């Protein structure tokens, strides 16, 4: 079975925008209401990580994923993840700091937050508006993924 990259993060943190980039698609960006399986991704609604009753569902969904991306919106640093949450997943968990075009001075807080969640470095800083860091992340995730798992 093809493994996909699961994208988790608070509401409006840029999950669906990133999923579009990873899938080379341009799906319209309206609030994600359900888990959406794309070519390379599993996009999740922000409300799922904001609702502890949905954690089990996210963890179960990740069982078929190659990676879990934990998004932290640098422009809006809400604390939605429980401490150690990354340890719930059996696949690699990658920390992605989004919207770095909006508040470029804010570097330490997202790092502290990712450490608290239990995500190990390296972290990726991206802007999907200014196209910063995107090709490095894509290469890291899909470079090996696609060649070993084509169908
Ligand atoms: N400035 C800026 N805006 C961004 C960036 N990435 C996404 N956005 C904008 O942020 C808004 C939310 O993006 P989405 O990708 O829909 O966010 P989401 O996490 O999927 O949101 P939900 O599905 O509601 O949880 C959109 O208006 C995007 O255009 C970025 O890197 N910089
Ligand atoms: Mg979305």
CA–centroid distance, residue 12 to ligand 1 (Å):
5
> What ligand 1 atom has the least distance to the C-alpha of 43?
20
Q: For the segment 62-119, what is each residue's pLDDT rounded down to a tens digit?
A: 999 999 999 999 999 999 999 999 999 999 999 999 999 998 777 899 999 999 999 9
Q: What is the DSSP string of 109-141?
A: HHHHHHHHHTPPSPEEE-BTTTTBSHHHHHHHH
CATH architecture of 4-148: 3-Layer(aba) Sandwich (3.40)
What pLDDT digit, counting tens, does each position of 34-71 carry?
999 999 999 999 999 999 999 999 999 999 999 999 99
Q: Which tokens hold the place of 130?
A: 């200014």
Q: How far apart are alpha carbons 5 and 23 in whole angstroms?
A: 10
Inform me whether the pLDDT recorded for 146 exceeds 50.
no
User: Where are the chain's structural domains?
Assistant: 4-148
pTM: 0.93
pLDDT at 144 over 80: no
User: Which residues approach ligand 1 with their CB closer than 6 A?
Assistant: 9, 11-17, 29, 31-32, 45-46, 98-99, 101-102, 127-129
In ligand 1, the atom with minimum distance to the C-alpha of 47 is: 25
């Amino acid at each position: 079975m093809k493994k996909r990259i699961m994208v988790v993060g608070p509401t409006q943190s840029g999950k669906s925008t990133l999923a579009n980039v990873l899938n080379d698609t341009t799906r319209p960006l309206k609030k994600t209401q359900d888990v959406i399986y794309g070519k390379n991704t599993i996009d999740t609604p922000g409300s799922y990580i904001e609702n502890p009753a949905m954690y089990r569902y996210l963890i179960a969904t990740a069982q078929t994923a190659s990676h879990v991306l934990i998004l932290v919106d640098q422009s809006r640093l809400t604390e939605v993840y429980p401490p150690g949450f990354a340890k719930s997943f059996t696949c690699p968990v990658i920390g992605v700091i989004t919207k770095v075009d909006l508040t470029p001075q804010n570097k330490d807080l997202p790092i502290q937050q990712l450490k608290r969640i239990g995500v190990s470095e390296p972290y990726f800083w991206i802007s999907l508006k200014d196209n910063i860091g995107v090709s490095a992340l894509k290469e890291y995730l899909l470079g090996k993924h696609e060649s070993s798992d084509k169908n």
